[in-house]
Each structure stands twice: as structure tokens, then as C-alpha cells.
Structure 1
Amino acid sequence: MSNEVRSLGMISPKGTGKTSLVEAILFNAKIIKRLGRVEDGNTASDFDPEEIERRMTLFPAVNTFTAGKTRVHLLDTAGYPDFLPETRAVARAVDNAVMLINAADGVKSQAAKFWALFDDLQMSRSIFVNFMDKELANFGAVMDQLRKAFESALFVPITVPMIKDKKLVGVIDLVGGKAYACEADGSGKFTESDIPGDFEDLAGEFKEKLVEAVAEMDDALTEKYLESGELSEQEVTQGLLKGVAEARLTPVYAGSATLNVGVAQFMNRFLSLSAAPGQRPEITCKDKDGNEVVRKPDPAQPFSAFVFKTLVDQYAGKISLFRIVSGKLTPDSQLLDTTQDRKVKVQQLFTVFGKKQEPADQLVAGDIGAIVKVDEFQTGDTICEMANPVVLPPLKFPDPVLSLAIKPKERGDEDKLSLGLTRLVEEDPMLKVSREEQTQELMISGTGQIHLDCVVSRLKKRFAVDVEVSTPEVPYRETITKKVQVQV
């Protein structure tokens, strides 16, 4: 059922520790056996050679696993500005977003772009204040900065750090009123206890802010709080569930992803408080006659989905990652790609874990899956059942801002270059390839210098073609500069 599905996207600026948090979550869930490090190039999410070399996430990665009875789709995304357009597209595939803040650096200006994205998509969201083990980390200061940067938002502390002798020793869960002393060796081990006396004032201060915010979510809670000045744990949870589902409040968690401190407590609360697919807004789309219809995130509705990312694997071929908006899907289904008006037979379904695919018997509304070796699918395509065709809102990508002329270094590599660019364009909707009509130069266009640098590097690594890039020639055009008189 959709209520047993959760999707979570790590969506925030670069350098905030998204990949490390994903790694710690997977390790704690016993999905991976060791805690990888971005610096070592061995994380579950950053598996592309370009990501390993640059030590940064460049492409979205899906990690699907089971936590109890819940199927969790955990997505890591790029935080560098050049790749924000694709991150925006990927954000449509998840129901919940987590924006990480580097506690030592505070809230930077780039965070505003991500926050605007969440607002545009009406996304349920949380904040994870990372790097609380750093010397300059200050949780209270970050809370103040968040409130100042996003004045209309309501930030609610859920876990707060325990700092002793300038060291991060654990976190306090304000909802449950318990302290968790955590090992700082990456093991994720912790000991639960009552809140220690020397942290009672800290916990009390933040708990008061939590309860005040939660009381605003419901008239009955407001009345109870005004009468008694307190709310029970059950009532606090009730208010949080409502506020998160309606994107009216933002839970804030604290910890250190690299030390694996506070990560278990964050994930435990996320699973209990996050928005389920059925709580997300319905989507307005168009039927075959152009009339507006709605699709609700419900397995009982007609099947509809959209492709949000395309990968081309050397061995598996074309891999189309998709999000199911409504209905359910099983293997051996005859579908319609309404974007291209093509009938498509889907023989197998998969869930995704990093660069691996696992067969799936059925996927339902809210699920993220993969279809392999269907060459017709492209990023942004709507796929649906034959009997109820619709077209979902398209994914939007901006026009390129930078163009470079490109040619192979070696004669005879023109075909290899052409093949490589064709494959990369299939994967990357931000990349455009064209030929300048007058100069006949082959051009690549993208979102910035880093984006095009990655294109050049991937051509060499994946397709064994060295290229030269240069500033495009300016086409010569004659221009009238002054008036003249002509006698005839």
C-alpha cells in the first residue's frame, strides 16, 4: 500500500554532507556493511567515476530499502549550482525533502534557492543540522539564522545536540523526552536514558518552542495548550504529523553524519512523521482531448507515472527511473507513452539501489522504480495505462547559458564523439548539442563551466575519445552602418 511507502530526497547546497548522511542511514539499516566516505570514493550514492574523482555528487542516485514494513526510497542529489535544474526535476519524484545545514558555516545564501524549490512543489521538508561535532558548530545560532532567512516558515526542533567539553556526545529527542549518548566512532551505537540534569534546561527551552509551534496546527491543540500550558507526547506527535503533511512546519534535527551521531534518531522520527504518498496533493493533468483531469496518489486510481532520470549503462543498456503518480504497475504490462504517443511493452520492473537493480513484482503510487532496455522512453515522458491516457505536467529545464565548440583531438574519432554525445544527451536533459550553421562548428551547450567540464571528462572516461573545446567562432555577418544614396 502507498501508506507503507516513503520517499526522501537529500536536497541542499554542496558541502553540507548529503552523501554522508545517506551512507549513515544505509549503514544503520544494515543495508551496507561498512560506512563509506566521500573522500575515499566508496559510498553507495557516488559511484560514477566523475563523482569519485571530483568527490562530489553530480548525478541523482536512488537507494531503495525496507525499514520494518516501510519501503523507503532515499535519493541523493547534486548540490552544485550547475546541476540544480536536474535536482529540481528529481525533487518532483519524492514526497519529502531534507535540507542539510553545515552547523559550522551556518545558513548560506544558496539555501534560498532550495527553499524556493520546496515552496514551488509544496513539499514536506525537514532540516538536518550537520557537522555538530565541529568546533564552531552552534545549534541555537543555526535555528536563529533559519528563522531570519525564512521568516514565513515555522521551524520546530525535534532533536538537539548534547555538547560536553566541546565534544558532541549525543542528542536529545524532545518528543519522547529521552537522551541518546552516541558512540563517535561511526558505529551508530547509542545508549538511551532520561535527560541528564546538566541538559535539562537546554531541553526545556527547546521543548517549549516545540510545543508552542505544534499547538498552532490544530484548534483543539491550541485550546488544550492555552488551558493547561502543556501537551502530551501523543498530542505533540499528532500536531507534528498534521504540520509536516501540510508543509506548515519544518522539523529540525541535529547530528553528525560522518560520526553517525544523531542519524538513527533522525531516521526513526522521519519514518513516523514524514508525509505518505496519499497525503500529497493531487496532480492536475490533461486527457487525450486536452481536458483537465486529476490523478490522486492512490493505488486504486488508473496507472500514471513519469520518467525523471535516464541512465545509459554499458551492460544493462538504457535505464529509465520513474515515479508512480497513481495506480500500480506489474511486469508484462502494455503501456502508453503519451508524451511521444507510443505503445510500449514493459516486461520487467526493478527497484534501484545505487548502481544495482533488483526485480520487483509490483510497484504502487509513491514508489520509485526502474524500467530497463526500453529505448523509447526519455526523461520527462508520461507513461500510463492504455485505457486511461493522460499527460502529466512536463519537467522543465532552463535554456543553456554557456556554449563551447568541440572536436576530437584525433582524426577518425568523429563517430566516437558523435556516439558519446548522443548517449550523454539521453542521460542529461541540460546538455544540448548543435552545429553552427555558418561556421559548421559542433557545439555543446549547458548550465555552466563545471557542467561542460564533466561532459568533456565523461567523453574520455566512458567513450575513450579525447576532445578539444574552445570559444566558438563568431559568425561573420555584414551590417549596414550608415545611410547611402543609390542612383539608378
Structure 2
Amino acid sequence: MPRRPTTKNVSIMRTYQTNEIKNVVLLGNSGSGKTTIAEGMLFEGKVIDRRGSIDAQNTVSDYTEVEHIYKRSIFSTVLYTEYLDRKLNIVDTAGSDDFSGGVFSAFRIADTGIMVINAVNGVEVGTQIFGRYAEEYDKPFFLAVNQLDHEKASWENTIESLQKTFGKKVVLIQYPITTGPGFDSFIDVLTMKLYKHDGDSGVVHELPIPAEEEERANELHNALVEASAENDDALMEMFFEKGTLSEEDIRVGLRKGIAHRDVFPVLCLSAKKDIGIRRMMEFLINNTPSPNQKPKPTTTDGTEVAFDAAGAPCIFVFKTQIEQHLGEICYFKVISGKITEGIELTNNNNGTKEKLSQLYVTAGKNRTKVAELLAGDVGCTVKLKNTKTSHTLAGNGKNWVFAPITFPEPKFRTAVKPKNQADEEKLGELLNKAHQEDPTILVEYSKELKQIIVSGQGEHHLNILKWQLANNNKLEIEFYPPKIPYRETITKVANASYRHKKQSGGAGQFGEVHIIIEPIVEGVEARSKFKIEGKELNLNLKGKEVQPLPWGGSLEFYNCIVGGSIDARFLPAILKGVMEKMEEGPLTGSYARDIRVYVYDGKMHPVDSNELSFKLAGRNAFKEAFKNAGPKIMEPIYDVTVLVPADKMGDVMSDLQNRRAIIEGMSSAKGFEKLSAKVPLSEMHKYSTTLSSLTSGRATYNMKFSNYEQVPADVQEKLLKAYEAIAVEE
């Protein structure tokens, strides 16, 4: 079980000004060493007095039992450290796309990323996936090549893969003298020094560059100077005039290049041996933007809010966590003003008042109490009553609201039920809490399907949820294939009549209804002339009622009664009967849609007719007409976009076509092929697992609902037989 959190005394932490804060997100493939780097950064900043390790299960970041079992990050962790009179707020994220929700949350509060590269493998799946996400969110980052002490590390292959992926923007700041177990030093071509580490002692020697390395170092230094000058016109003029730039001038150009994603600097590391961590932190502090050097965040109504400690107090909640002994913890970034212990703010998403009775900064499970936090800083508070992820809280009467975090669409869905039926209510509560902590877990009780549907980023994502429920909450659940929300409609005109007659002593029941139904076709108006059983029938369209349907499409209901054959007061009952059958279609029990109903004749009894009689008559007349109107089952179609390596394109395309996909387009995107297709939802079950298997985890995809289309005849026949079999069983 996770160890209990600790809280440190308020006197430990001083208040940092906005320009003294750096907010950074650690990105990279699983196994690249992000958590070990975070451990080193906290150690160098004296937040911890010894470095933990993944194998020893004592790192600050990966502290949950499930992370110990899998030996990798599963949840994003908010950390901080202090170095060179600066505060570094760090979010250590998971390296699997299944747990990418933490990355999207971190992007909202981090100003820079550190993309960690495994020197053994070079650019990996996670590098590419998170690199694309960073590009989509215009998030700058630099590249930290880690594990250079590994016996299979290859600097040359790693740099080649980086240049292939990120192009000419890759600029070397450092390079190792040697790699493998003997790695203990590197040359920094920005400072033009050799940094040599004395084993695990923590002692670092700054030495002149050896003579045998001068030519290579000078060549890389000149490349760095040119790359820096390209980001500033004044620096370019200075470079042409002098032929070089000073170290500070290079930094000016680097800051601009990094901030605009025009430069991806490369640094050397062995986080396991604490080599290069200190220098990386110095680089981060000197060359990446503070919050007030970034564009001002904009509210939903277009108001720009500056990161100004003198402004009105305002925070944005980017993460919610639930702890057993404490309740909800809300992690926030201070957008404006000063946040003090005990401050009262208004939650502008729901209008409620919230008191921040306690303020903390966190290093994983450990919390350090603070008295105040200024604009740009990151902290957390506890026991807010009505505040969730993506909420904005503000004071001084400001009605600022920032757009919610945009999370990726789910890629995997499953039905879920408790093994013990008595645990259904408990399951609902726990799934809602799971969504609060991880908004990429979506939970829906489908009245239509009579199932609880849980959606996530992949099969592994939901299997971790299942593990948590079983081990942390003692709730055993089962996953099983979800039903598909089919729709039913008709393709031609049909008519039917039905007489409901019942006599059981006293007042009886009587109602007779004659109807015509036809499909609603876009651009085709209702008509008044029909040919029924060889006879022309002219209708008088006296009244029209349009019912937009919650499940999509509509029902149009026309009163065509003449001569008072049915009293007008019974028409709502007939409509109710029709709607009941629309909610449970005659073919498969799915919702029906896009149908016009004309009630044109019928009979009633002066004593025995009532609303119930006409509801039943209307329902059964509609059911009969539906079966004769060329009924069709419609299925949900999704727009699916797959990013796949070129060498796996054929396999992926073949698999999609076997799933009845219609390929709509192909294009190239930075070493990947982009496939666009329309695919039936029924064919997408466990697609994330199949795609990962086909491409060794190198491909990714997203899917979004597009429209409903008729199923092929053979598929409809199978569905009808399956429904009939269920009906017989019941």
C-alpha cells in the first residue's frame, strides 16, 4: 500500500517571485528515466537527502503500489525543487500513451518540457507521440539524452534518430567523451568546459577542454552560435560583424529559439549516477522562460490575464487527487495575484465560494506547508467543496474563466459490472471518483444499452483501473464487450391499422388507429398524397408536431383526422404509444429515428375509449407498419485517424479493411503515414491492443463519432437472429 504522506513545516519554504519560477514537464518513453531524473533534481535541490531508485521502490515520484508492481510511472506526479535561488515546479508524467491524460494536464501549467531520450534506443514511440502532442500544444522542450552509462548506449545513433525526427532544430549543447560504464564526463559547447564527475561523490570538476577534443568542440560551438543568431536579427548582425557571439549573447538567442520551438537543445545525462543533472538544471534556469515571459493566458471571453503578483488573485485547477485519509487534493497554478492561506475565492464555473484554508507545495506524496504563493507558482490545497479539475477560482470580483483542459478522445470502451450485484451503487461512486482523478476515464450508464460503459485511452489503462478497484477498494469487477448503440429506421412507405378492444366487466377499452409512416429524408417535405393498396389517398395535414429525439434524428407526427373519427384529445396518447416503440425499436430493441407518422383514420367508442386504449392502438399500429416499411438497422460510424510508421502501413491498412473501414485518405507526417478512415464502432473493440501488436507499439490513433449509416444486409441478418435468440431466452 502507498505510504502515508508527510507534511513539513511552513518555515522551510520561502516565497518565490514570478520571475524566479520555472514550470517544467518531464516527457518521454517508458524506461527513458524521467522518474530518476526527477529524483536527481530533488536531490540536487536538497528537497530529499538521498536518491531513491525504481528497483528499490523508494522514489519520490512513483510511490503507489501499482507503480511499484509495474516498475514505471502510471500517474503524473507534481514535484518541486529549489536551485540557484529558483523554484522548479516539475510534473513527472507517464511514458505510455494509455496514461497521457497527465501530459495534457501538465501542458496547461508547464512552460517548458524536458524530452528524455534513452541513449540505448534513441527515438522511441513515446518520443514521437509526446513530441506530436507538444507540437499540437506549441510546447517548447529540450532533449536530455539519458543512460549514457549503459553498456549499449550509442550517442551517434541517438543523435541521428533525433535529427531524423526533429530535423535541423536539433542543436548539441553537450556531448560525451565516451559512453558506456566509463561515462563520467562531457563537454559543454555553450560554456566551452569539460565537466568531469568523481563517481558517486557528487563532486564535479570544471576543466579546460582537452586538446584532442578542441576541433570537435569548436565545430559544435560554431553551430550553436549560428543556431542562436538565427533567432534574433540583432544577434545575426552581431554575428556577421564579429564572427562569433559571447556566452550571454548565445543564451539570448537560445531563449528565443527554445520559446518559439525553433531550437531543440541536446544535453547529456546519466540520471542513475547523477551525472549532468546539476548542469541540466542550470541550463533550465538560464535558458527557459518564466511564466511572465510566456504569452498571457486568455479567458473564455477573450480577456488576457497577466502573470502579475500585484493583480487580482486567481488560480486554475489542473489536477484532482483523492487520498483515503484526506479527501480531495486540488493542484493549481496561480494565474494572477497572491494566494494566501485562508483566502476566499469564488469558483467562477459554478458560483460557489471556496476557502483555501491550507496551502502546500508537493514533492510526490510529501507536502510542504506554505503561507503564500505568487502568480506563476504551482501548489495544492485540500477539502474544497465544489471545485474540480479545469475550474477557475478568482477574487476581487473577477469573473475570469479559463477554458477547460482538452483531453484526448477515448480509444477503448468496455462494459463493466460488479461480480456481486449488491455492489452496483459502490461501483458507481468509485467510477465517478476515478473520473475526477483521471478525466480521460469516462463513465456512462447507458439506459439504451442497460450497461455501465467505461472508456479510456487503452486496454492497459482500464486494466489498471480494474486493479485499483480490486486492491485499493476491495471491489471485484468484470469487463465484457459493450453493446453497440444501433439505430432503427425505415426506407419506404407503409400503412397499418390496429384495433385495441378489451371487455372485462364494467367499462371496457376501445381504440382503433390507422396510420401511414415514411422515412424522413433531408430536403423532402411531408406529402399529402399516397397510394395505399392500389387506391389513391389524399390526406388533410391539419396539425404537425416535431419531436427532436435525445438519441439523434427526429419524429414528425401529423394529425390528418377528418370527420371526427378520433377525438383530438386522444392524439397525445397515440403519439405517446408511438414514442414508446421508438424507444424500443421493433428490430433489435434499439432506438428508432427519422420517421414521419400520419394518423389519418380510426374509430372510438363513446363509453369505452380512453387514453390507454389509443396509446396501445397507436403503439401496435406503428409496430406493424414499421415491419412493412423496409426497416433498416443503422450503426454508429467513427472517424478514425491512425499515425503509423511507413513500414507498417500495409499491415494496418489491411487490418482496417477487415474491419469494414472505408479508407478516405493517406498523407505523410514527419516520418509517419497518416491514415484517415470511417470505421463502424462495432469493429473497433480492442483495436488499441491490435494496433499496438501490429506495430510494436509504434502507432497511435484517435477516433471521433461521425454519423449513423445503414449496416450491410449480411450484418443486419446476424443482428436480427441474435436479437431473436435473446428474446426467446427471456
- Is the TM value for this pair above 0.5? yes
The residue aligned with 1:22 is: 38
- C-alpha distance in structure 2 between counterparts of 1:127 and 1:232, whole Å: 23
Residues in 2 aligned to 1:61 and 1:165: alpha-carbon distance in whole angstroms: 30
Aligned to 2:236: 222
Aligned counterparts, 1:293-332, within 5 A? 293-332=303-342
The residue number in structure 2 matching 1:112 is 128
8 Å CA contact 2:96, 2:126 repeated in 1: no
Q: 1:65 aligns with which of 78, 81, 87?
A: 81
The runs of 5 or more residues in structure 1 that have no matched partner are none
Q: State whether residues 335 and 385 of structure 1, in contact with CA within 8 Å, keep that contact through their aligned partners in structure 2.
A: yes
Partner of 1:195: 209
1:334 corresponds, among 336, 344, 348, to 344
Q: Is the 8 A contact 2:46 2:81 kept in 1?
A: no
Which residue identity lines up with residue 93 of structure 2 in the other structure? Answer: T
Partner Cα separation in structure 2 for residue 109 and residue 57 of structure 1? 16
CA contact (8 A) 1:86 1:430 kept: no
SS in 2 for 1:223: helix
Shift of 1:61: 0.7
Shift of residue 259 of structure 1?
2.2
Aligned counterpart, 1:243: 257
Q: Which amino acid aligns with 1:340?
A: N
* TM-score when normalising by structure 1: 0.92
Pick the aligned partner of 1:170 from 158, 170, 185: 185
1:231 and 2:250 are equivalent in the alignment: no
Out of 265, 268, 286, which is 2:282 matched to? 268
Deviation at 1:159, TM superposition (A): 1.9
From 147, 154, 163, give the equivalent of 2:169.
Answer: 154
Counterpart residue type for residue 234 of structure 2: A
Q: How does 1:382-393 map to 2 (within 5 A)?
A: 382-393=392-403
Structure 1 residue matching 2:171: 3-state secondary structure: strand
Residue 431 of structure 2 aligns to a residue whose secondary structure is: helix
1:361-417 CA distance string (max 9 Å, x none): 111111111010113111111111141111112211233222222222235333432
Contact 2:299 2:401 in 1 (8 A): yes
Equivalent in the alignment of 1:361? 371
Deviation at 1:473, TM superposition (A): 4.2
Aligned partner letter, 1:76: D
Deviation at 1:474, TM superposition (A): 5.2
Secondary structure class of the residue paired with 2:273: coil
Aligned to 1:421, what secondary structure does the other structure show? helix
CA distance in 1, matches of 2:210, 2:394: 55
Counterpart position of 2:417: 407
Give the number of the structure with larger relative contact order, counting CA–CA contacts within 8 Å between residues 6 or more apart. Answer: 1
What CA distance in whole angstroms lies between the structure 2 residues aligned with 1:249 and 1:281?
18
Q: Distance in 1 between matches of 2:494 and 2:147?
A: 71
Post-superposition offset of 1:184: 4.3
Please name the residue that 1:416 is paired with.
Answer: 426
**What secondary structure is seen at the aligned counterpart in 1 of 2:475?**
coil
Opposite residue 295 of structure 2, the aligned amino acid is P
Aligned-partner Cα distance in 2 for 1:7–1:360: 18
Structure-2 residue corresponding to 1:31: 47
- Listed one character per residue, the Cα deviations across residues 152-194 of structure 1 (whole Å, up to 9, x for unaligned) are x622222211207873121112222111112444x54322211
Deviation of the 1:317 alpha carbon: 1.1
Is the 8 Å Cα contact of residues 330 and 362 (structure 1) preserved in structure 2? yes
Instruction: Using the TM superposition, name which of 160-169 and 400-409 deviates more.
Output: 160-169
Alignment-mate amino acid for residue 451 of structure 2 = E
| Contact 1:95-1:275 within 8 A present in 2 as well | yes
What runs of 5+ residues in structure 2 fail to find an aligned partner?
A: 1-16, 497-531, 534-730
2:58 aligned partner: 42
Secondary structure, in 3 states, of the residue corresponding to 2:394?
strand
Q: What is the root-mean-square deviation of aligned Cα atoms in Å?
A: 2.4
SS of 1:295's equivalent in the other structure is: coil
* Structure whose alpha-carbon radius of gyration is higher: 2
Query: Does residue 282 of the first structure (1) align with residue 296 of the second (2)?
Result: yes
* 2:162 aligned counterpart, secondary structure: helix
- CA distance in 2 between counterparts of 1:65 and 1:26 reads 5
- Corresponding residue to 1:181 among 189, 192, 196: 196
Segment drifting more, 349-358 vs 476-485: 476-485
The alpha carbon displacement at 1:337 in A equals 1.1
With over 3 angstroms needed to count, the CA separation of the structure-2 counterparts of 1:166 and 1:477, relative to structure 1, is closer
1:432 paired with 2:442, answer yes
In 2: Cα distance, 1:237 partner to 1:438 partner: 60
Letter in 1 for 2:137: L
Quote the residue 2:148 is aligned against: 132
Shift of 1:66: 2.0
Specify the code of the residue in structure 2 equivalent to 1:239: G
| SS of 1:22 mapped into structure 2 | helix
Larger deviation: 313-322 or 384-393? Answer: 384-393
State the Cα deviation string for residues 457-476 of structure 1 (Å, max 9, x = none): 11112211111221124578
Structure 1 counterpart of 2:675: none
Tell me by how many angstroms 1:438 deviates. 4.0
Instruction: Please report the TM-score for the alignment, with normalisation by the length of structure 2.
Output: 0.62
Judge which range, 365-374 or 176-185, deviates more.
Answer: 176-185
Matched, 1:343 2:353: yes
Q: Is the 8 A contact 1:161 1:255 kept in 2?
A: no
Q: Which amino acid aligns with 1:34?
A: R
For residues 44-83 of structure 1, the C-alpha deviation after alignment (integer angstroms, 9 at most, x for no partner) is 1011222121111111111123223212212101121112
Overall identity of the aligned pairs, in %: 32
Contact 1:184 1:260 in 2 (8 A): no
1:196 partner letter:
P
Larger CA deviation: 119-128 vs 307-316:
119-128
Contact 1:11 1:79 in 2 (8 A): yes
Task: Determine helix, strand or coil for the equivalent of 2:335.
Answer: strand
With over 3 angstroms needed to count, the CA separation of the structure-2 counterparts of 1:168 and 1:33, relative to structure 1, is same
CA distance in 1, matches of 2:220, 2:302: 46
- Aligned equivalents of 1:431 and 1:473: distance in 2? 18
Q: Does structure 2 retain, via aligned residues, the 8 Å contact 1:64–1:73?
A: yes
Q: CA deviation at 1:311?
A: 0.3
